[in-house]
């Protein structure tokens, strides 16, 4: 067995997990056996760097396991850009480099990856219980895999298979142009341009947590202008989503309808560009939480497949929602195993 350290490092919290994997584990595809030995959550803002967090984690793990763990490799998924072997975290005053971490943590091999790249690795470790299939499609084992996830922003990425191994690549596709398809989406586009004083609207401004809030504000102001008795108060994305799930607020319901359709359309756009017959996976923090709204009336998958004369191409793409919230941490462990 190989002892590894996986980390999901964010501006608010850092999640660390000590894992064991079979020495001869196949980390290229299919279900991967990962045995978690110890896990800890830490407030990132309370520490000056990642090293003391790992030090605290090792101390706690030693007390639990009865011996000091000595990982052979570590991979940390970073909520921020990773360039080469270095990352300057967006929301923390941390600068991390692999050579310094290897030296100060006494771990032979350390790798830093973007958090959505970690999600890409993580889908390789998902099993049937971790997924909800929206469209079975026609799986091709050698084809690309696509990953898209609406959360704070809109992450996108893809996996390409070479021989028997998948390689994960990041993307900034979430910053592509928002392409409205209906009359109300065209109105939303104009509202966002005026409200935000911008001349270009990215799809992330619609398909994300902030997008849910923006759609709600647009519909609320539209209703008020039409003379309807609507509260002028803002709602956060969680409140809007909950009200839509409970069907207690018509504007919140319409907000999520527009959001789900735009999400499906953008996922379909990604599918057209990659033809990911290895599967397209919805990750991020939103899809699993609003699963009933994603599946209601097949609204998402209908938008996904509505691609005119090339619709038959995307109808063959397997589409899955990732239900496991620790997919990024699992991906970091898989990446560490490859070191």
Please give the torsion angle defined by the CA atoms of residues 284, 313, 31 and 171, in that order, rounded to the nearest 10 degrees.
Answer: -40
Strand partners, 15: 8, 41
d(CA 189, CA 215): 10
* Annotated binding-site ranges for ATP: 7-12
d(CA 2, CA 20): 5
Contact predicate 69/58, CB 8 Å: yes
d(CA 14, CA 46): 11
* Annotated binding-site ranges: 7-12
DSSP string, 40-84: EEEEGGGSSSHHHHHHHHHHHHHHHHSS----SEEEEEESS-EET
């Amino acid at each position: 067995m190989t002892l590894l350290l996986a980390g999901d490092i964010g501006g608010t919290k850092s999640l660390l997990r000590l894992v064991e994997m079979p020495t001869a584990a196949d980390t290229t595809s299919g279900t991967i056996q990962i045995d978690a030995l110890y896990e800890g959550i830490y407030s990132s803002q309370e520490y000056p760097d990642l090293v003391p967090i790992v030090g605290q984690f090792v101390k706690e793990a030693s007390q639990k396991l009865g011996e000091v763990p000595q990982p052979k490799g570590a991979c940390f998924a970073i909520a921020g850009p990773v360039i080469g072997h270095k990352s300057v975290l967006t929301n923390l005053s941390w600068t991390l480099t692999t050579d310094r971490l290897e030296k100060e943590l006494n771990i032979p091999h350390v790798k830093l990856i973007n958090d959505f790249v970690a999600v890409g690795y993580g889908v390789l470790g998902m099993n049937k219980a971790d997924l909800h299939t929206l469209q079975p499609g026609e799986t091709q084992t050698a084809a690309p895999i696509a990953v898209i996830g609406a959360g704070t922003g809109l992450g996108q990425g893809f996996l390409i298979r070479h021989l028997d191994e998948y390689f994960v690549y990041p993307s900034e596709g979430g910053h592509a142009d928002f392409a409205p398809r209906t009359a109300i989406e065209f109105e939303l586009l104009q509202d966002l341009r005026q409200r935000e004083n911008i001349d270009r609207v990215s799809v992330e401004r619609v398909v994300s947590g902030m997008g849910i809030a923006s759609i709600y504000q647009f519909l609320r102001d539209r209703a008020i202008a039409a003379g309807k008795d609507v509260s002028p108060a803002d709602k956060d994305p969680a409140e809007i989503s909950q009200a839509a799930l409970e069907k207690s607020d018509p504007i919140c319901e319409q907000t999520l309808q527009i959001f789900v359709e735009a999400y499906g359309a953008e996922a379909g756009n990604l599918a057209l560009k990659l033809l990911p017959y290895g599967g397209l996976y919805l990750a991020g923090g939103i899809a699993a939480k609003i699963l009933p709204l994603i599946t209601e009336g097949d609204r998402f998958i209908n938008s996904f497949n509505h691609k005119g004369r090339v619709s038959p191409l995307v109808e063959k793409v397997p589409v899955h929602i990732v239900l496991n919230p620790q997919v990024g941490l699992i991906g970091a462990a898989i990446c560490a195993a490859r070191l």
